[in-house]
Structure formats: structure tokens, C-alpha cells
Amino acid sequence: MLFDMTRLLIAIGLLIIFTTVIGLWNWAHLRIVRIRSRHRKWPMEVWNGKATLLYFSTKNCVVCKYQQAKEIEKIRETFSPDLLDIKKLDALEQPELAKLFGVMNVPTTVIIDGQGNLHAFNANLAKAKELTQQITGSIGACEPVRQKAILDPDKTEQVVIVGSGPAGWTAAIYAARAQLAPLVFVGAGDKFMIPGGQLMWTTEVENFPGWPEGIEGPALMEKHQEQALHWGTRVMETDIVNIDASKRPFELTDSDHNLVKAQAIIIATGARARWLGLENEERLARSGGGVSACATCDGPMPIFRNQVVAVIGGGDTALEEALQLTNFASRVHIINITPELTASQVMCDRARDNQKIEFHFNKTVVDVIGEDKVDGLRIHDVSDNTESTMPVKGMFVAIGHIPNTDFVKDIMELDEHGYIVIKKAFRTNTSVDGIFAAGDVIDSNYRQAITSAGTGCMAAMDVERWLQRSHVALV
Ligand SMILES: Cc1cc2nc3c(=O)[nH]c(=O)nc-3n(C[C@H](O)[C@H](O)[C@H](O)COP(=O)(O)OP(=O)(O)OC[C@H]3O[C@@H](n4cnc5c(N)ncnc54)[C@H](O)[C@@H]3O)c2cc1C
């Protein structure tokens, strides 16, 4: 009898635990659904009951203008207007809408389905396209026709160029004029790396020969591209993710799983922004909470207007970012780990002359404070080992770049910082016979557009001579 009672009590206990767990799960689930459906009635100007993609940008956002806007056009061509409304909005001109949708940096894509549920808050248009396909139930009509049309699986390319900064385009111009019919992989693009390369993030380029009054970085890269296309360069809008260097011809795989064969390859993939590596830094950068590596793109956003912000770093990029931010922020703190700036004299002078800029030397950031948005920084003074808090509403990281060599790290020699090792002075040969490299990806010293263009030219000429010497069968 006693034994039966114990069993009954255990069964009742288990039942209570089970129902509690189910109840909690349901509560959490309903809560998620409630949050997602919170704004079933959106303003008529943005949603009229049809699946809608809202694309927030600003006039100053180069990545919006030159790269992401093209992606939006692809989505527009893919989905008929009956299925999907697409609205481009300027986050600065329509701050109420930007606020309503929680937009904190640009570009930001928001998708609302036919029932008014909010499905995405992101800057990743590849994801946006996937979500749109789920929401509209359509895979669309316009798959990347251009890419399929130019790729012939039976063909072996004479030279494939990976990257589309000054090095890549210059290599393409030379290779195309040498009748090598180059195929350039310009990169798929993301928030920190875009076709056209690093100059797409800057405004005036005043030191590229041939432009006495200066030229905007993106405009300069458009000119490079125009010249390369003029001579017959073909383009793929994807990343190269793998190179099989054990095979001849080489086999390259792109981010759309296309396989391309090539006799010779030029790597011109440049570099990307370096982060501090703090947990909260990454979280607040990903959520658009006020951490950024691009003042040109995010500096003009309302959350930074008349606010105190910080720039981390002491080189040219850091000072350029700080000067740009003085147009929007009330104060800009430059936090630099070394006792002196490492930027060029002209940039140091400009920054020192600006009353809004304040310098903090021998200091580094050890944590970013804030739940949804940056509220401050925890600062470590390396000279006396003390810690302090600095209240800021934004943090812009400008501490250098990482060479984009992940996809070749297993097949060729890299230096301790990840730059491709060039085997001989004034040549562009890598440790793999038939693979050449140019631009910032081989150069941790000069890192200029003109030096990149110069080595791009050298790489194309090296390829031409290598192909002639190697007597490889050209198709
Ligand atoms: C804010 C800023 C301002 C600057 N201002 C000047 C200036 O005024 N004057 C000057 O001379 N220099 C300036 N520079 C430096 C100059 O931009 C670089 O030296 C130059 O762009 C390097 O050219 P690159 O072709 O080597 O590489 P990048 O310009 O970095 O281009 C590399 C390209 O490769 C692509 N890519 C990367 N990985 C892959 C992959 N796996 N597959 C396909 N594609 C890939 C990237 O998307 C990118 O488009 C500036 C740099 C910055 C950041």
C-alpha cells in the first residue's frame, strides 16, 4: 500500500513538472509571437497589406549607393510587384519611420509579410532574399542569369582575378589588353567588404595620379571597372571560397558553388577592418547598437547626432573617421593604446586643429557598456594599470585591417599577419607556381591605391609571361 502511494506521488510530481515545462515553453513561444506581431498595423505609407521589403539607407552611405542598392534591384527583378512591394527609405529624412522600425545603422532591410508580421531586421540582403522567397512562396524569376551565361564548365580560363579593388581592376585592364580574357570575381560583398574594395568607404581621394582636384573613392573605382570592362573583362559577382591548387588547371569554387578552371590566378583580395575582439563589441555591432567600423556609413545616423562618440586607433583611418564624425557628433574621443599617433603628419595636424576632438593616449577599451545601445566604454590605462569609464553613445573601431587570405591559407605561404608572401622582390609570384598576388593582400607597408594598382599591373604582366613560358594549352 505504502509502495503504491509512493508511486502515485512520484507520478503526480512528474506530471506537475511536465505541465510546468510545457506551460513555460508556451508562454515563451507566445511571447515571441507577440513580439513579432506587435505592430500588425503599420503606417499606410510603408505597408498596404502586401508583403513589403523596406530598405533604409542614407545619402552618405556609400555601401548603400554602390553595392546594396544593386542587390535591391536584383530582388526587384526577381519578385513581381504583385507579390512584393519594395520601398527605399532615407533613414535621415524619415526619422520617425527609422525609429519605428528600430533602424540604428544603414543599410537595414525590414520585411513585413501580408499579415503585418515583421520578419527581418538586418543588413544582409542574401538573407533578405531568402526570407522574401519564404514569405511570398516564390523563388522568383530572375536568378543570376548573367553569371550562368558567362560560365562554361568545359572551359579553362587563362587567368582568373580574385578581388575588385585598384589591384584587381588594374590587373584586369592589363590582362584584357594582353588578350587573356580575364574573369574577375568582384566579391559577394557584405557590410565590411564590398566590390570596389576599401576606397568604396572613403570620400575624396586626393593622391591618385590623374585627378588633380581629387575624386571620390567610389567614383574612382567605377572608372577602374569601366576601363577593365571596356577591354573585355568579364565579371562574376561572387566570392572565391576555395582553390584546389593540387590540380592543373587550378579549380576555383565560388560562393554560389560554381566551379571554374584556370591556368593562372591573381589574388587581389585586399584587407578588411580589424575589431577589438570584445564580446559586447561584436554583439552591439551585429545588432546595430552603436558599434561600427565605418564612420562614413554609420556616422550620420540619428543615434550619433550631437552625441559623444569614441574612435579607437591612432592611424590615418582613425583620424579620418574622427574628422568625419565631428560633422555629426558633439565630441569625439580618440582612444589610442600607444603614447603617440601613428597617422601621417597632415592628418595629425588636421585632427589636432579640430576643437571637437580629444585625445587619450596609452589607453585601450576593455569592454563596451550597454544592453541594446552603447552607453559607455570601460577604459584601461596601460601606463598606470588603472580603469575608468567613459560615457559615449557610439564606438568606431579603426585599428587596422586583416588581409583577406582565409581561403588560401592552406595552399600558400602567408606571413605571421596573414599577408601573402611574395617569393622574389619586384615580382608577384606566390609560393604556388601559377598563382600571383597583388595589392594590400601582399603589402602591410604602403597600403595605397596607387601601389595596389602598380602591383596589379605587375601581376598581370607576370601572368602573361608565365603563361608563355609554361606553354600551357590555351582554350
Ligand atoms: C577609409 C580609407 C581611406 C583610404 N584613402 C586612400 C587614399 O586617399 N589614397 C590611397 O591611395 N589609398 C587610400 N586608402 C587605401 C586603399 O583603399 C587601399 O590601399 C586599396 O584599396 C587596396 O587595394 P586592393 O585592390 O589591394 O584591395 P581592396 O581595395 O581592399 O579590394 C579588395 C577586394 O577584394 C574583394 N574580395 C575579398 N575577398 C574576396 C574573395 N574571397 N573573393 C572575391 N573577392 C574578394 C573585396 O570585396 C574587395 O572588393 C584608403 C583606405 C581606407 C580604408
- Could you please report the per-residue DSSP string of 15-76? HHHHHHHHHHHHHHHHHHHHHHTTT-S--TTT-SSS-EEEEEE-TT-HHIIIIIHHHHHHHH
User: 159-163, 236-240, 351-355, 452-456: which range is least confident on average?
Assistant: 236-240
On whether residue 422 sits in a domain, the answer given is yes
My answer on whether 201 and 265 are in the same domain is: yes
State yes or no: is 61 an active-site residue: no
Q: Is the pLDDT of residue 25 over 60?
A: no
Question: Cα of 380 to ligand 1 centre, how many Å?
Answer: 32
State yes or no: is 298 an active-site residue: yes
pLDDT, position 38: 43
Instruction: Return the exposure string of 270-307: e unless at least 16 CB atoms fall within 10 Å of the residue's CB, then b.
Output: bbbbebbebebbeebbebbbbbbbbbbbbbbbbbbeeb
Among 188-192, 399-403, 454-458, the range with the most confident prediction by mean pLDDT is 454-458
* Catalytic residue of the set 61, 297, 443, 462: 297
pLDDT, position 382: 96
Nearest CA to ligand 1 atom 40: 239
Q: Is the pLDDT of residue 30 over 80?
A: no
Rounded to whole angstroms, how far apart are CA atoms 328 and 346?
Answer: 22
pLDDT, position 7: 79
Ligand 1 proximity of 320 Cβ (cutoff 6 Å): yes
My answer on whether 454 and 394 are in the same domain is: no
Ligand 1 proximity of 404 Cβ (cutoff 6 Å): yes
User: What 8-state DSSP symbol labels residue 414?
Assistant: B
Nearest CA to ligand 1 atom 27: 270
Instruction: Return the exposure string of 383-406: e unless at least 16 CB atoms fall within 10 Å of the residue's CB, then b.
Output: eeeeeeebebbbbbbbbbbebbbe
Confidence band, pLDDT 50/70/90 cuts, at residue 36: very low
Q: Which ligand 1 atom sits closest to the C-alpha of 254?
A: 42
My answer on whether 114 and 137 are in the same domain is: yes
My answer on whether 150 and 264 are in the same domain is: yes
Rounded to whole angstroms, how far apart are CA atoms 342 and 92?
Answer: 34
pLDDT, position 63: 63
Ligand 1 proximity of 294 Cβ (cutoff 6 Å): no
Confidence band, pLDDT 50/70/90 cuts, at residue 205: confident
More confident residue, 178 or 18: 178
Ligand 1 proximity of 66 Cβ (cutoff 6 Å): no
Q: Which residue has the cell 522568383?
A: 140
Rounded to whole angstroms, how far apart are CA atoms 385 and 145?
Answer: 59
pLDDT, position 269: 97
Question: Cα of 475 to ligand 1 centre, how many Å?
Answer: 32
* Catalytic residue of the set 61, 64, 239, 294: 294
On whether residue 95 sits in a domain, the answer given is yes
Nearest CA to ligand 1 atom 26: 439
Cell of 286: 551585429
Ligand 1 proximity of 296 Cβ (cutoff 6 Å): no
Cell of 69: 542598392
Q: Is the pLDDT of residue 326 over 50?
A: yes
User: 190-204, 238-252, 366-380, 440-454: which range is least confident on average?
Assistant: 190-204
SS3 call for 90: strand
Percent of the chain with pLDDT over 70: 81
pLDDT, position 270: 96
The CATH number of the domain holding residue 437 is: 3.50.50.60
My answer on whether 316 and 389 are in the same domain is: yes
Q: Is the pLDDT of residue 342 over 60?
A: yes
Ligand 1 proximity of 185 Cβ (cutoff 6 Å): yes
Among residues 346, 342, 347, the alpha carbon closest in space to that of 315 is found at 342
State yes or no: is 294 an active-site residue: yes
Q: Is the pLDDT of residue 338 over 70?
A: yes
User: What 8-state DSSP symbol labels residue 106?
Assistant: S
My answer on whether 230 and 165 are in the same domain is: yes
Rounded to whole angstroms, how far apart are CA atoms 196 and 219?
Answer: 10
Confidence band, pLDDT 50/70/90 cuts, at residue 145: very low
Segment 121-133 shows an average pLDDT of: 55
Segment 288-309 shows an average pLDDT of: 84
Beta bridge partners of residue 436, listed in sequence order: 266, 429
Quick count: other Cβ atoms within 10 Å of Cβ 262? 24
Rounded to whole angstroms, how far apart are CA atoms 174 and 158?
Answer: 13
My answer on whether 321 and 334 are in the same domain is: yes
Q: Is the pLDDT of residue 127 over 70?
A: no
Percent of the chain with pLDDT over 90: 47
Ligand 1 proximity of 403 Cβ (cutoff 6 Å): no
pLDDT, position 263: 97
The CATH number of the domain holding residue 92 is: 3.40.30.10
My answer on whether 209 and 240 are in the same domain is: yes
pLDDT, position 464: 97
Q: Is the pLDDT of residue 321 over 80?
A: yes
Confidence band, pLDDT 50/70/90 cuts, at residue 96: confident
On whether residue 300 sits in a domain, the answer given is yes
State the amino acid at position 231 in one-letter form.
W
Which of 95, 119, 143 terminates a domain? The answer is: 143
Beta bridge partners of residue 261, listed in sequence order: 156, 251
Ligand 1 proximity of 317 Cβ (cutoff 6 Å): yes
pLDDT, position 351: 96
On whether residue 324 sits in a domain, the answer given is yes
On whether residue 79 sits in a domain, the answer given is yes
Q: Name the residue of 204, 256, 269 whose CB sits within 8 Å of the most ligand 1 atoms, as the mutation to test its pocket.
A: 269
Segment 332-356 shows an average pLDDT of: 95
Question: Cα of 437 to ligand 1 centre, how many Å?
Answer: 14
Segment 423-443 shows an average pLDDT of: 96
On whether residue 2 sits in a domain, the answer given is no
My answer on whether 239 and 293 are in the same domain is: no
Confidence band, pLDDT 50/70/90 cuts, at residue 445: confident
- Digit-coded pLDDT (tens) for 40-80: 568 888 888 888 888 888 776 666 666 566 677 777 877 77
Which of 377, 399, 421 terminates a domain? The answer is: 399
Which of 93, 123, 143 terminates a domain? The answer is: 143
Which structural domain range is residue 362 located in? Answer: 279-399
Instruction: Return the exposure string of 176-195: e unless at least 16 CB atoms fall within 10 Å of the residue's CB, then b.
Output: bbbebbbbbbbbbbbbbbbb
Q: Name the residue of 198, 208, 238, 240 whose CB sits within 8 Å of the most ligand 1 atoms, as the mutation to test its pocket.
A: 198
Instruction: Return the exposure string of 216-247: e unless at least 16 CB atoms fall within 10 Å of the residue's CB, then b.
Output: bbbebbbebbebbbebebbbbbbbbeebebee
Q: Please check whether residue 462 is in contact with residue 178, taking contact to mean a CB–CB distance below 8 angstroms.
A: no
Segment 93-100 shows an average pLDDT of: 81
440: left (phi over 0), alpha (psi -120 to 50) or beta: alpha
On whether residue 41 sits in a domain, the answer given is no
My answer on whether 388 and 438 are in the same domain is: no
- Digit-coded pLDDT (tens) for 376-400: 999 999 999 999 999 999 999 999 8
From the number of C-beta atoms within 10 Å of its C-beta (0-12, 13-18, 19+), residue 12 rates as exposed
My answer on whether 114 and 189 are in the same domain is: no
Q: Is the pLDDT of residue 413 over 80?
A: yes
Question: Cα of 235 to ligand 1 centre, how many Å?
Answer: 18
My answer on whether 253 and 287 are in the same domain is: no
Rounded to whole angstroms, how far apart are CA atoms 344 and 263?
Answer: 41
The chain-wide mean pLDDT, for the chain, equals 83
The angle, 0 to 180 degrees and rounded to 10, between the axes of the packed helices 345-353 and 316-325 is: 30
Rounded to whole angstroms, how far apart are CA atoms 421 and 442?
Answer: 7
On whether residue 368 sits in a domain, the answer given is yes
Q: Please check whether residue 417 is in contact with residue 444, taking contact to mean a CB–CB distance below 8 angstroms.
A: yes
The number of distinct structural domains making up the chain is: 3
Ligand 1 proximity of 447 Cβ (cutoff 6 Å): yes
Q: Is the pLDDT of residue 224 over 60?
A: yes
Ligand 1 proximity of 62 Cβ (cutoff 6 Å): no
Angle ∠(376,377,382) on CA atoms, nearest 5? 155
* Catalytic residue of the set 113, 254, 298, 462: 298
